[in-house]
């Protein structure tokens, strides 16, 4: 930091980022109307600076710091004491990349969120139709990147932006889990059984019916613990842990398979009759 014995005209202040954090060790240069350098200073670790113009008059103050866009402002210096001036610099860095599936397909409309070590959001973006994204205004440092997209597993990653302020970081998303299986009774598959998936709180998440081969399938399930209820007489209940892309889970009913399919057929006819079909 520059000090001076003549305090009749002093420019002082702080250099900060646009989010309010101080910018340490900023370089400040004062030039006159002809572009000649007339004074220099370096900010301290808290962003504070002190620079002394040689005479009163109009000058341009240039501020620069690593990883930030430089700033130039007009200042008018008069005799008669300190003049305080706070300067905000914007980051010049960029975090960019592509969000794809495991088979290389782009993921559009994925939400990108970047947080700093304090948990503050410092960048956000939404992927384009080709899966590309760009978050501007980052400086060198460590960040957490979170990517969320419909019907895909959210992902988070820790990354480090280099001193250049620019980093390319591609992301691969996996689809949410598919839970499927076969419902049997008395050793045979059962057609038309309603299978309901409940979450840990008991709320119904998904519902499916078995096909002619007794198979059911429930898609887009996040990882977690679930309870499956197969509607029968009596109902069959089981628990399953979902962790992965494809989970197989068969269910066993305690009644005769033919009776179960006939019961479903009667329920279907009753439902159609109530709807006037």
pLDDT tens sequence across 187-228: 899 999 999 999 989 999 999 999 999 999 998 888 889 999
Q: Residues with Cβ < 8 Å from 233, sequence gap 6 or more?
A: 255, 260, 263
The number of angstroms, rounded, from the C-alpha of 33 to the middle of its chain's C-alpha atoms is 47
Residue tagged 């646009």 (tokens) = 18
Domain topology for 177-261: Immunoglobulin-like (2.60.40)
- Gap between the Cα atoms of 11 and 84, Å rounded: 6
Measured distance CA(152)–CA(97) in Å, rounded: 18
Question: Under 8 Å CB-to-CB from 258, ≥6 apart: which residues?
Answer: none
Q: How far apart are CA 14 and CA 66, in angstroms?
A: 16
Strand order in the sheet with 204-209: 204-209, 194-198, 224-230, 236-242
Pinpoint the alpha helices (H) of the chain. Answer: 257-274
In CATH terms, the fold of domain 93-173 is Immunoglobulin-like (2.60.40)
156-168 tens-digit pLDDT:
999 999 877 889 9
pLDDT exceeds 90 at position 18: no
In the predicted model, what is the mean pLDDT of the chain?
Answer: 86
Using alpha carbons, select from 218, 205, 276 the residue that is nearest to residue 249.
Answer: 218
Same CATH topology for 93-173 and 177-261? yes
Looking at CATH, the fold of the domain delimited by 9-89 is given as Immunoglobulin-like (2.60.40)
Joined together, the tokens standing for residue 119 give 């948990």
Q: What would the pLDDT profile of 90-143 be if each residue is shown by its tens digit?
A: 877 889 999 999 889 999 999 999 999 999 898 899 999 999 999 988 878 899
Eight-class DSSP state of 210: -
Q: Calculate mean pLDDT across residues 14-35.
A: 90
Residue 38 has pLDDT above 90, yes or no: yes
Q: How far apart are CA 185 and CA 209, in angstroms?
A: 15
Can you tell me the distance from the alpha carbon of 109 to that of 133, in angstroms, rounded to the nearest whole number?
10
The residue extents of the domains of the chain are 9-89, 93-173, 177-261
Q: What pLDDT was estimated at residue 134?
A: 94
Measured between its terminal Cα atoms, the distance across the chain in Å is 86
Closest among 63, 62, 68 to 19, alpha carbons compared: 68
């Amino acid at each position: 930091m520059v000090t001076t014995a003549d305090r009749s005209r002093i420019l002082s202040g702080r250099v900060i980022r646009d989010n309010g954090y101080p910018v340490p060790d900023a370089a400040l240069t004062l030039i006159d109307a002809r572009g000649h350098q007339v004074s220099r200073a370096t900010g301290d670790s808290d962003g504070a600076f002190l620079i002394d113009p040689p005479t009163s008059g109009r000058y341009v103050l240039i501020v620069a710091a690593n990883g930030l866009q430089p700033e130039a402002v007009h200042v008018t210096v008069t005799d008669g004491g300190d003049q305080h001036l706070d300067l905000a610099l914007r980051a010049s860095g960029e975090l960019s990349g592509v969000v794809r599936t495991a088979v290389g397909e782009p993921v559009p409309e994925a939400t990108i969120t970047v947080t700093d070590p304090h948990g503050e959001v410092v960048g956000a973006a939404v992927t384009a139709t080709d899966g590309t994204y760009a978050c501007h205004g980052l400086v060198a440092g460590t960040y957490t990147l979170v990517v969320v997209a419909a019907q895909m597993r959210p992902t988070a990653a820790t990354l480090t932006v280099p001193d250049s302020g620019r980093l390319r970081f591609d992301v691969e998303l996996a689809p949410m889990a598919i839970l499927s299986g076969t419902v049997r009774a008395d050793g045979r598959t059962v057609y038309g059984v309603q299978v309901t998936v409940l979450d840990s709180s008991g709320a119904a998440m998904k519902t499916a019916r078995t096909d002619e081969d007794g198979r059911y399938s429930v898609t887009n399930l996040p990882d977690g613990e679930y309870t499956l209820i197969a509607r029968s007489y009596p109902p069959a209940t089981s628990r399953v842990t979902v962790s992965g892309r494809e989970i197989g889970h068969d269910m066993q009913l305690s009644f005769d398979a033919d009776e179960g399919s006939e019961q479903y057929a009667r329920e279907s006819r009753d439902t159609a009759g109530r709807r006037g079909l």
